[in-house]
């Protein structure tokens, strides 16, 4: 009879259950890393190094946040952070309807109306009403910023303010603006 | 085969008759002569041998709730990877290159070029329709159990298409089923 072979003991990863040498092909090596470093540091010699360099990065970050690193790079960053949230909130708070005449070619133009939805107006409904009132085509389209707007064919910009305030009393005249020559001007 | 395998696919678990137990034992001994010295430990004559019948004509051989071998219909018995890891020399070995590892571990069959490239290696003795251990370049332990579609010589000569069917691989359903209660 042949000699009894001793069973080989394979080191299985306690995290992903694979033989430790296969952790790199497992579902999530990141999760295995702490266990690997603890239990089989020789298998992935790069890991320990990586960890060390990451620790170094952390220290670097800390230095930066306490302002020890060059101020030129950290100062603008801080400013950005301060401005961004403030700006966003401002934009959100400002409810307005913006009307712009866009010239398609020499004789044809459309009037775009943005922001009615901010006053609880259903755009599809508004589009129908605008088309009826001005006897023209009107449609709800996605504008350049993915926000929906109403496109009305023809130049109706000067009659539209009255129509809006009459039809949707929730929209104050003071919240209506025109875009003229690239500048935003109040309708009243 | 075991990609989505779970206990739910086990339709029946039965303790087999002594005569069947002897037959299973004999075919395992014939297929894996290297296991013979430890067969009494693995499949103790006195412990009941359980065969779990699963979908797709798959049978699992269990001792004390631990899956040790599987086969399809009346095909050859193949060890589970956990068992093979303990007795790595009971099967002939084919080795895939490093690039093939992630495909094998997602359940893909083994393509000839993965075995014939510089990172791969073939035991020329291996015939067609033979259970083999699938090893990998730079790795010590098997990552899959395969069943050859062609002989090692043909794998080398033809060098395209599927050379070995991937039967069972690390982290598939059977791997995750350490025990079947
Ligand atoms: Zn792992």
Each residue's pLDDT tens digit, B3-51: 878 888 888 889 999 999 999 999 999 999 999 999 999 999 888 999 9
* Structure token pair of residue B157: 């000569």
C-alpha distance from A37 to closest chain B C-alpha (Å)? 18
* pLDDT class of B132 with cuts at 50, 70, 90: very high
Decide: B106 and B100 in contact? Cβ < 8 Å. Answer: no
Question: Which of A2, A7, A26 comes nearest B87 by C-beta?
Answer: A7
The domain boundary residue, chosen from B58, B79, B100: B79
Regarding whether B70 and B90 lie in a shared domain, the answer is no
pLDDT of residue A35: 94
pLDDT of residue B58: 92
Torsions phi, psi for A97 (to 5 deg): -110, 125
Distance B98 CA to ligand 1 centre (A): 18
pLDDT value of residue A16: 96
> Closest Cα of chain B to A49: distance in Å?
21
Check: CB of residue B100 under 8 Å from CB of residue B110: yes
Residue B140, domain extent? 86-169
Q: Residue A123 in 3-state DSSP?
A: helix
The reply to whether B179 falls in a domain is no
Query: Does residue B101 share a domain with residue B41?
Result: no
The two structure tokens encoding residue A57: 């990065």
A1 shares contact with chain B (CB less than 8 Å): yes
Contact B86 A26 (CB under 8 A): no
ipTM above 0.85, yes or no: yes
Report residue B72: phi and psi, to 5°.
Answer: -120, 130
H or E segment to which residue A110 belongs: strand A109-114
Cross-chain Cβ contact B87/A8 below 8 Å: yes
pLDDT of B126 > 80? The answer is yes
Q: What is the pLDDT along chain A (188 residues), one digit of tens a residue?
A: 557 778 999 999 999 999 999 999 999 999 999 999 999 888 888 776 766 666 555 554 555 544 444 434 433 433 333 344 434 333 445 788 888 877 766 666 778 888 888 888 888 888 888 888 878 888 888 766 667 888 888 877 767 888 888 888 888 888 888 877 777 888 87
For the whole model, what pTM was predicted? 0.63
Give per-residue pLDDT as tens, A86-125: 343 334 457 888 888 777 666 667 788 888 888 888 888 8
DSSP of B129-179: S-EEEEEETT-SS--EEEEESS-HHHHHHH--SEEEEEEEETTSHHHH-S-
Which residues face B15 on adjacent strands? B50
- Considering the domain architecture, whether residues B75 and B111 belong to the same structural domain is answered as no
Same domain, B59 and B93: no
**Interface residues of chain B, partner chain A, Cβ below 8 Å:** 34, 36-38, 85-89, 101-102, 105, 139-141, 143, 170-171, 175-176
Please tell me the distance from the alpha carbon of residue B19 to that of residue A55, in angstroms, as a whole number. Answer: 63
Domain A95-184 CATH superfamily: SUI1-like domain (3.30.780.10)
Considering only the beta carbons, identify the residue of B87, B140, B143 that sits closest to A5.
B87
Sequence spans of domains, chain A:
18-59, 95-184
């Amino acid at each position: 009879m042949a000699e009894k072979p001793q069973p080989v003991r394979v080191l299985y990863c306690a995290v992903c259950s694979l033989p430790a040498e296969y952790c790199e092909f497992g579902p999530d090596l990141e999760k295995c890393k702490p266990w690997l470093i603890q239990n089989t540091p020789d298998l992935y010699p790069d890991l320990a190094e990586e960890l060390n360099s990451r620790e170094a990065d952390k220290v670097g970050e800390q230095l930066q946040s306490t302002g020890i690193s060059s101020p030129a790079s950290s100062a603008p960053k801080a400013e950005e952070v301060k401005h961004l949230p403030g700006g966003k909130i401002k934009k959100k708070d400002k409810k307005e309807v913006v009307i712009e005449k866009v010239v398609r070619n020499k004789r044809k133009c459309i009037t775009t109306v943005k922001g009615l939805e901010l006053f609880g107006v259903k755009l599809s409904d508004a589009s129908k009403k605008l088309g009826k009132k001005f006897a023209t085509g009107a449609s709800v389209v996605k504008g350049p910023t993915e926000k929906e707007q109403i496109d009305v064919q023809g130049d109706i910009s000067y009659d539209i303010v009255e129509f809006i305030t009459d039809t949707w009393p929730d929209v104050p005249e003071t919240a209506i603006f025109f875009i003229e020559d690239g500048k935003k001007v109040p309708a009243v | 085969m075991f990609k989505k395998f779970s206990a739910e696919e086990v339709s029946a678990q039965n303790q087999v008759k002594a005569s069947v137990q002897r037959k299973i034992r004999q075919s395992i001994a014939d297929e894996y002569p290297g296991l013979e010295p430890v067969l009494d430990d693995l499949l103790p004559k006195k412990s009941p041998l359980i065969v779990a019948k699963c979908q797709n004509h798959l049978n699992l051989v269990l001792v004390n709730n631990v899956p040790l071998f599987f086969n399809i219909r009346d095909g050859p018995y193949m060890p589970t990877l956990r068992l093979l890891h303990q007795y790595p020399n009971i099967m002939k070995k084919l080795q895939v290159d490093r690039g093939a590892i992630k495909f094998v571990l997602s359940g893909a069959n083994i393509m000839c070029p993965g075995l014939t490239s510089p990172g791969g290696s073939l035991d020329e003795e291996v015939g067609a329709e033979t259970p083999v251990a699938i090893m990998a370049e730079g790795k010590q332990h098997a990552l899959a159990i395969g069943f050859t579609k062609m002989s090692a010589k043909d794998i080398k000569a033809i060098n395209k298409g599927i050379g070995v069917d991937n039967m069972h691989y690390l982290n598939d359903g059977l791997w995750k089923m350490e025990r079947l209660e």
